[in-house]
A and B are shown apart, each in its own frame.
Chain A
C-alpha cells in the first residue's frame, strides 16, 4: 500500500508539472495572436492615449514572463482573472458552466460505460458468433460517423420530426456505414474470414443508399417531436427537466464513446483469452462465463481502466462540438463563445480547466491500473 501511495504521489507531481507546461503553452500561444488585450477591449474606440492608459492599468507593459507569473499566481490562489468582455470574475462564470458540463459527462458516462463494458464482455464471451459480428459492425459504423452528424441525425429523428420521404438523409447515413463496413470487410478478407453477416448488412445499407436516388422504398415516418433539440438550462431548472433536456446530447456522446470503449474491452479480454492460464482454466472444466469474469477480466482491468479514463476525459473535454450543436450551456459552449468574442482571458481559463481534467483523469487511470496489478497489491 505504501508503494502505491508513493506512486500516486509521483504521478501527482508529474501531473502538476504537465499542467504548468500546458499553462505556459496556453499563455504564450495567446501572446502570439496579433493585437493585444487593450486593443481587444477598446476596439474601435481605441486612441493612442486610451490604449496607453489601459495598458498601464492592466499591466500590459510589463514583460510577458512577469505577466505569466502573476497569472499563474492568481490561478494558484484560485483567481482566474476577469472576463475582458463583461469584466466579471471568470471563476463565477465558469463554475456554473463547468457544473453543466460535468452533469452531461456524468449522465453520458453512467449510460455509456456500463453499456460498453457489458457489450464488450458479451462480445468476447460470444466471440466470432453472429452476436459479436453484429455488435462489431454496428459499433464500427458508429465510430465512423462524425459526432455532429450523429447529433443532427438524432435531432432529425427525435425532435424535428417529419413526414416527408426519409430516403435522402437515410442514404447519407448508409453511405457512411458502407464506408465503415468496407474497411471491416477488407480487413476480414486479409485474414481469410469474411463473415456472411457483414455482407448481408452491407447489402441492406447499399439498398438504402440506392433508395436515396431511385426512391423505390416509401420510407416515411410520423412527426416525432418528443425530445428538445435545444438544451435550455438555467439556475432554477429542476433535476428532471435537466435530464430531459440533455437526453439528445447524452445519446450523441453515448453513441460516440460506447463503440470505442466496447471494442477496446473486447480486444483486451480476447487478448488475455490466449494466455496459458485460460487454457488451464478450460482444462479444469471451468464454464466459459466464469473464465471471462473470474479469470480474464481481473487481468484486463489495467487496459480497460485506461480506456475508460480516456472516454471520461473525452466526455469532459471533447464535448465542444456536441454542446455547440445543442446549444448546451456547458464549458465547451462558453469556450466557443469566448473565442468568437475574443475574450482571451476566458479562453485561457477554459483551456486550462480542460487540460486539468484531462491530466487528472489520466493520472487516476494510471494509479488505478497499477493498483489492480496483483504484483503491487501483494508485494513479495
Chain B
C-alpha cells in the first residue's frame, strides 16, 4: 500500500435522463485506486458499473450527467475539466477496453491503423515507431502472426483475437490506468481463458493500474487485487479479493456468492421411455452443413443439456427439431411417431407438443401486446379456449410463473424487468401445454440472481407438469445445476452424450476436458493453476 494514489473518487453522483426527469444512476460512490493496482467492480446489470468505470475517464454517455462529487486522476480534477484537458488524458493516460470488440473497432480501418491512431494524435510516436510497438504488443497478448495480423480488418479476425487486439490498443500509449468493461462477457469459455491470460500478463508487465468491470465473480477473482460490489448505484461492500471471496460481510454479497449452489431436484432412478428421439439428423444452411449425423434422445420428465461453443450447432439442432430448418437427412421421432421435417406440414398436436423459450426475452415478446394478449394467443390457438375460460387460463398461467395476475395481465413487455419478461416467455410456452420445451440459452442474457430464479421456476414446473427440457447453453455451471444428461457438441457433431455424472467425471473426451477446465473457479489461483497445467 506504499504506492501513491492514482484515482480518487469522492461522493460521485451520476444521473441519467428519462423523458424530462433525471434519475440517479450512481448515488455517491467513493473509490480509491493506487498505482499498479487492479480493482474489480462487480454487480448486476443496472448496478452502474460501466457508468462508474467511464466516469473514471471523465466521460459520461449521452443523456447522462455527473451531478456531484469529485473525480481526481493523479491530482487533476476531471469533473468540470475542459474537453481539451480530458482529450489529452484519454487514450494517453487512461485507456478503455470495451465489452464488444467487434462493435468497438471501426470496420473501415485495419487494426494497426487504429492502434497507431492513439500514439500519433497524442504526439508520442510516428507511424513506423508505433507500428513496431504494435507488433511487440500483439506478440505480448499472444495474437497469432503478430507481424501481419495488424493489417487485417476487424471482420477478418475472430472475436477473441479482436478482444486481445483491443487490449493491445489500450496499451499503445502505456497508460497509467486501463478500464476493462466486461471484456470477456461475449466470449466462449475456451476463448475467455486465453483473453484473461493475455490481459493479466500485459497488465502486470506494464505495471498499469486497472478497473476490471464484470458481472462474473469467478472472472473478477482471477483478475483483481481488490473487489467493490455495486448495487443500484451504491457501494455494497469493498475488500481485498481473497477476503471478499472467503468471508463476504453483506447479505447481498453472500447471495451473489451462493448463486452457483443451485441444484435441480433429483429425479427418481427409473429410466423412463424416450419422448423425443433425434435420429441421424444432418442439416444445412444452403451448402453449409451445420449438423452432421446427430443422434440423441430426451426422456419424459428429464432435462437434456446441449453444450458447446458458439458455432457448434446447438441452436441449429433446436431449429431442426422444431421443423424451422427441415433436416436434409435423418428424422425426428416424438413418442414413437416420426414428425414431418417441415413445421408447416405438422399437425396442431405435433406443434403444441414442442415449444420454445428464447435467449433474449426483449426481442422474443411483441412490444405492442399486453401480457394477457401474448399468453391468450397460443392458449386459444392450441387449446381452443375463449371468453371467460381463456381469461382464467391466462390468470392460471401467470400464477404458475409466480406473477400476480391482477398486476401483470395488462402490462406491456416494456414495463417488465428482464427476469419477468423471461417468465412471460415461459408462460407462453406453457400455454400450449407442451410435452417438451426447448430452452435456447434462456438464462444467458440475465443476471445471476435472476437466472437462478428462472432455473428454480423451470425445475418446479418440471416436477408439477412432468415436462421434458432440451436445455441449450454454453454455460457449464448451468448444465451442472439442471441437467440429467448432457450432450457435448463441437463443429456440428456430438462429441459426448450421456448421463451428467458420466460426462462430468473423468476420463473425458479431450474437447469436453478443454471446456470443463476453461470454466473459471471462484478460487483466485485458478487461472494461474490452469495455465500451468496446460503448459
Is A33's beta carbon under 8 Å from chain B?
A: no
Interface 1/0s, chain A 294-319, versus B by CB < 8 A? 11001100000000000000000000
Does A284 contact B118, Cβ atoms closer than 8 Å? yes
Which of B98-106, B270-278, B461-469 lines the interface with chain A?
Answer: B98-106
- Partner among A192, A281, A294, A299 whose Cβ is within 8 Å of the Cβ of B107: A299
Does B87 contact A277, Cβ atoms closer than 8 Å? no
Is A380's beta carbon under 8 Å from chain B?
A: yes
Does B92 contact A276, Cβ atoms closer than 8 Å? no
Is B382's beta carbon under 8 Å from chain A?
A: no
- Partner among B19, B89, B106, B155 whose Cβ is within 8 Å of the Cβ of A299: B106
Is B288's beta carbon under 8 Å from chain A?
A: no
Does B106 contact A277, Cβ atoms closer than 8 Å? yes
B92 CB contacts on chain A under 8 angstroms:
285
For chain B, residues 103 to 126, give those with C-beta under 8 angstroms from any C-beta of chain A. 103-110, 117-118, 121-122
- Partner among A282, A284, A299, A375 whose Cβ is within 8 Å of the Cβ of B117: A284
Does B90 contact A276, Cβ atoms closer than 8 Å? no
Residue of A nearest to B61 (CB): A279
Interface centre among B110, B117, B169 (most CB of A within 10 A): B117
CA A274 – CA B62 in complex, angstroms? 9
Is B59's beta carbon under 8 Å from chain A?
A: yes
Does B155 contact A380, Cβ atoms closer than 8 Å? yes
Interface 1/0s, chain A 180-206, versus B by CB < 8 A? 000000000000100000000000000
Is A378's beta carbon under 8 Å from chain B?
A: yes
Does A277 contact B103, Cβ atoms closer than 8 Å? yes
CA A375 – CA B107 in complex, angstroms? 8
Residue of A nearest to B103 (CB): A276
Is A286's beta carbon under 8 Å from chain B?
A: yes
CA A290 – CA B121 in complex, angstroms? 10
Minimum CB–CB distance for A194 against chain B, Å: 13
Minimum CB–CB distance for B81 against chain A, Å: 13
Residue of B nearest to A273 (CB): B62
Minimum CB–CB distance for B84 against chain A, Å: 9
Does B90 contact A283, Cβ atoms closer than 8 Å? yes
Is A374's beta carbon under 8 Å from chain B?
A: yes
Does A378 contact B153, Cβ atoms closer than 8 Å? yes
- Partner among A274, A283, A284, A298 whose Cβ is within 8 Å of the Cβ of B108: A298
A275-B103, A290-B121 in contact; A284/B109 too (CB < 8 A)? Answer: no
A276-B98, A375-B155 in contact; A284/B91 too (CB < 8 A)? Answer: yes
Is A287's beta carbon under 8 Å from chain B?
A: yes
B416 CB contacts on chain A under 8 angstroms:
none
CA A276 – CA B117 in complex, angstroms? 17
CA A276 – CA B61 in complex, angstroms? 11
CA A107 – CA B19 in complex, angstroms? 47
Is B217's beta carbon under 8 Å from chain A?
A: no
A192-B19, A276-B100, A380-B155 in contact; A286/B106 too (CB < 8 A)? Answer: no
Is B281's beta carbon under 8 Å from chain A?
A: no
CA A322 – CA B506 in complex, angstroms? 83
A283-B57, A378-B153, A380-B156 in contact; A299/B121 too (CB < 8 A)? Answer: no
Is B429's beta carbon under 8 Å from chain A?
A: no
Residue of B nearest to A298 (CB): B108
Interface centre among A275, A276, A283, A299 (most CB of B within 10 A): A283
B57 CB contacts on chain A under 8 angstroms:
283
Does A285 contact B87, Cβ atoms closer than 8 Å? yes
* Chain A residues bordering chain B, tally (CB within 8 A): 23
Residue of B nearest to A299 (CB): B108
Is A340's beta carbon under 8 Å from chain B?
A: no
Does B88 contact A285, Cβ atoms closer than 8 Å? yes
CA A277 – CA B101 in complex, angstroms? 9
A286 CB contacts on chain B under 8 angstroms:
87, 91, 117, 121
B108 CB contacts on chain A under 8 angstroms:
295, 298-299, 374
CA A280 – CA B62 in complex, angstroms? 14
B169 CB contacts on chain A under 8 angstroms:
284
Does A374 contact B90, Cβ atoms closer than 8 Å? no
B118 CB contacts on chain A under 8 angstroms:
284-285
A192 CB contacts on chain B under 8 angstroms:
19-20
CA A281 – CA B87 in complex, angstroms? 10
Minimum CB–CB distance for A295 against chain B, Å: 5
Does A287 contact B121, Cβ atoms closer than 8 Å? yes
Does B59 contact A283, Cβ atoms closer than 8 Å? yes
CA A194 – CA B59 in complex, angstroms? 26
Residue of B nearest to A281 (CB): B106
Is B180's beta carbon under 8 Å from chain A?
A: no
For chain A, residues 76 to 90, give those with C-beta under 8 angstroms from any C-beta of chain B. none
Residue of B nearest to A375 (CB): B155
Residue of B nearest to A373 (CB): B107
B100 CB contacts on chain A under 8 angstroms:
276
A276-B100, A280-B98, A374-B108 in contact; A285/B156 too (CB < 8 A)? Answer: no
A374 CB contacts on chain B under 8 angstroms:
107-109, 153, 155
For chain B, residues 47 to 65, give those with C-beta under 8 angstroms from any C-beta of chain A. 54, 57, 59, 61-62
A279 CB contacts on chain B under 8 angstroms:
61, 98, 104
Is B471's beta carbon under 8 Å from chain A?
A: no
CA A70 – CA B57 in complex, angstroms? 73
A299 CB contacts on chain B under 8 angstroms:
106-108
CA A374 – CA B107 in complex, angstroms? 7
B62 CB contacts on chain A under 8 angstroms:
274
CA A295 – CA B104 in complex, angstroms? 11
CA A254 – CA B103 in complex, angstroms? 38
A294 CB contacts on chain B under 8 angstroms:
109, 117
Minimum CB–CB distance for A221 against chain B, Å: 45
A276-B98, A378-B153 in contact; A285/B121 too (CB < 8 A)? Answer: yes
CA A165 – CA B169 in complex, angstroms? 66
Minimum CB–CB distance for B154 against chain A, Å: 8
Does A280 contact B153, Cβ atoms closer than 8 Å? no
Interface centre among A277, A279, A286, A295 (most CB of B within 10 A): A277
- Partner among B89, B90, B122, B153 whose Cβ is within 8 Å of the Cβ of A282: B90
Does A284 contact B90, Cβ atoms closer than 8 Å? yes
- Partner among B59, B91, B105, B152 whose Cβ is within 8 Å of the Cβ of A277: B105
Interface centre among B54, B92, B153 (most CB of A within 10 A): B153
Is B95's beta carbon under 8 Å from chain A?
A: yes
CA A274 – CA B61 in complex, angstroms? 10
Is B212's beta carbon under 8 Å from chain A?
A: no
Is B96's beta carbon under 8 Å from chain A?
A: yes
CA A282 – CA B121 in complex, angstroms? 12
Does B122 contact A285, Cβ atoms closer than 8 Å? yes
For chain A, residues 346 to 364, give those with C-beta under 8 angstroms from any C-beta of chain B. none
B61 CB contacts on chain A under 8 angstroms:
279
Does A287 contact B87, Cβ atoms closer than 8 Å? yes
A378 CB contacts on chain B under 8 angstroms:
110, 152-153, 155-156
Interface centre among A282, A285, A287, A380 (most CB of B within 10 A): A285
Residue of A nearest to B105 (CB): A277
Sample of 4 further A-B pairs with CB below 8 A, known A282-B90, A380-B155: A276-B104, A285-B121, A286-B121, A294-B109
Q: Which 7 A-B pairs have the closest CB atoms?
A: A284-B91, A298-B108, A285-B91, A285-B90, A276-B103, A283-B96, A280-B104
Interface residues of A (CB under 8 A from B): 192, 274-277, 279-287, 290, 294-295, 298-299, 374-375, 378, 380
Interface residues of B (CB under 8 A from A): 19-20, 54, 57, 59, 61-62, 86-92, 95-96, 98, 100, 103-110, 117-118, 121-122, 152-153, 155-156, 169
A-B contact pairs, 8 of them (CB 8 A): A280-B105, A280-B106, A281-B106, A283-B95, A284-B90, A285-B88, A286-B91, A299-B106
